[in-house]
Amino acid sequence: MESLVSTEWLAGELGAPDLRVIDATIFLPGAGRNARAEYEAEHIPGAVFLDLDEVVDSANPAPHMLPPEHKFASRMQTLGLGDGNRFVIYDNTPLHSAARAWWMLRIFGAHYVAILDGGLAKWKAEGRPLESGVHHGRHAHFSAYLDAGQVVTKDELLGLIGTDGQSIVDARGAGRFAGEEAEPRPGVVPGHIPGARNLPQSELFNADNSWKRGGALRAAFDAAGVDLAKPMITTCGSGVTAAVLLFGAHLLGKNDVRLYDGSWSEWGADPATPKAVGHE
């Protein structure tokens, strides 16, 4: 299975015994939308709702930090997501949060994980079937083994500031990156990590919400001044849209990319971390 699948492909595969469809929609605080309620109102037939606000390390004050292995396994099993399944993830949010769920499943050991190109918006625009309510999958066994080498910590990133061996790329909008807009979470100052480049994650998508590919996708990284020859670290507000950049790089065949899980919610809340403003 490819990492990015079409709506046509998914329509043909729906109902396959090993296929699991996941709605991983999430919104920024204050967006005025409820991802779970929207899922219950309409979703792709058979899809389960993966709550990215809940599948987290609840002992960490930063939002969306990766949960312990046992918690991730438990949540997957309750949703009926098990070893050997093929997973197709979609969302219905400007944050394109399916990429975060794709990244999480992969680093916890899942082998067959794909994102639905265009998400629910494209599925609906094509008049494809929907259902409402809550889909309950049969309890499954999920073996979670975290590949911690794919995750960047604050301490590691602090040691890389001022060096030239990594590309640090921030997925937030230009206003937040430059420190011109307030952060959506309390206690987090505006700005960005020194030396980071800004590539708003929305730049990786076409008008119909499908992913850019090939030259158009590469051009988005080039326009942001990202050196694709260097290993990359992606960051954002809370580790969600950082996964969009990571997946975009993956579509270009670049896999030496890691994600700073704490992202600006952690970095910007720490008075001791260096911070920059403006556009570099």
Q: Find all residues with CB under 8 Å of 174, minimum gap 6, and list them.
A: 198, 200, 279
Q: Please, what is the angle between helix 214-223 and helix 242-251, to 10°?
A: 130
Read off the tokens for 276.
């920059």
**Sequence-distant (≥ 6) Cβ neighbours of residue 275 within 8 angstroms:** 189, 191, 192, 193, 194, 267, 268
CA distances from 211 to 54, 96, 190 (A): 27, 10, 29
First CA to last CA distance, the chain: 39
Please say if 236 is a catalytic residue.
yes
CA neighbor of 276 nearest in space, from 185, 177, 184, 201: 177
Catalytic residue among 236, 249, 251, 259: 236
Which residues are annotated as catalytic?
236
